Amino acid sequence: MSLHHLRQKLLSWYDQHRRELPWRPSPSPYATLVSEFMLQQTQVKTVIPYYEAFLRRFPDIESLARASEEEVLQLWQGLGYYRRARYLHQAAREIVKHHEGEIPIHDVKALRRLPGIGPYMAGALASIAGGKAVPALDGNARRVWRRLLGKDDPRLLKAMAQKAVDPLRPGDFNQALMDLGNLICRPKKPLCPACPLWEICRTRGEGNQPSPRKPPRPVSRPTLILRRQNEVFLEKRPAEGLLGGLYGFPALPPGFPARRLPRWDYRHTFSHRVWEVKVYEALAGETGISLEGQYVPLQPDPPLPLPRAFRPLWEKLWEEAAEEKDDESPEDEG
């Protein structure tokens, strides 16, 4: 099959079977930028409501650049991998400051210099929003090429992907490979007979099952509730590392005197570890430890960006506070 035939087959399939996604019709550079940051390591169905809410709050690059990091992180709550949110925010500020608010979609090198943008995202932005004939190799596209070629050679994959990009429809071509990998050339049980490139595939899905992933390792996480009347303390986590830049309940310092609340214990699973959260509490006046953060009032929704890992504890605290408030209310007169 010639490259012309391959492009024709793939794009014909894409025109009939493409996924209908909110960032695809007449993709603007900004919409593409936001969607690509959100889609890293996250399923499309999870991203869609976050993407729509994000664009309602920050409809353009200027509004995002003006926002505080805390505002961005609060809107990102629940989507995970919070470093992406900080990089997106930093990239928006760089674009406004150094590119007059215009995303440099025609310059792959300039895109690569922006925070959080690697080879794949630069290729996606340049091809989808800029119409530039460059490859965009995400995990789905790489799997398609590995199976088509029957080899797992990164240099060969990159060279073939660059050579094959359709010069007239580069964005559609790259998205077609992504959709093909997602819908047909799946990691497990690929639907080979439905593939438009079946006749040239060297493997037709055989022998390409991924090695089983290691289960996330359990990690004990003693967690401290610091109370002050109807307020609790939320610590601001360091910018780098797990849940960086967000707020959470602090870890219990070794040897710190605190009361154990075993019935409040819970587990939270990340992609690579499982927190076994063991809960303790103390009053503000009892602590001499120094932490960065602030006391906040208990209410249904946290006033600061609080990730899912700490939501069960916040919900228990709010339920307890609401029950106490009900108990204090005077009984209705008969």
* Alpha-carbon gap, residue 255 to 313, rounded angstroms: 22
Residue 36: active-site member: yes
If one counts every other C-beta atom within 10 angstroms of the C-beta of residue 5, the result is: 12
Residue 294: closest CA among 70, 76, 79, 73: 70
Q: Which residues contact 3 (CB under 8 A, 6 or more apart)?
A: 163, 164
Catalytic residue, chosen from 36, 62, 276, 324, is 36
Strands (E), 159-265: 217-228, 231-236, 247-248, 259-260
If one counts every other C-beta atom within 10 angstroms of the C-beta of residue 292, the result is: 9
Q: Got the DSSP string for 143-181?
A: HHHHHHHT---HHHHHHHHHHHS-SSSHHHHHHHHHHHH
Strands (E), the chain: 217-228, 231-236, 247-248, 259-260, 266-269, 273-283, 293-297
* Alpha-carbon gap, residue 272 to 214, rounded angstroms: 8
- Tell how strand 293-297 and strand 247-248 pair up: unpaired
* Alpha-carbon gap, residue 177 to 164, rounded angstroms: 11
Q: Which residues contact 235 (CB under 8 A, 6 or more apart)?
A: 247, 248, 249, 250, 291, 292, 293
* Alpha-carbon gap, residue 156 to 198, rounded angstroms: 20
Element (H, E) at 326: helix 311-328
Structure tokens at 260: 């154990």
Report the catalytic residues: 36
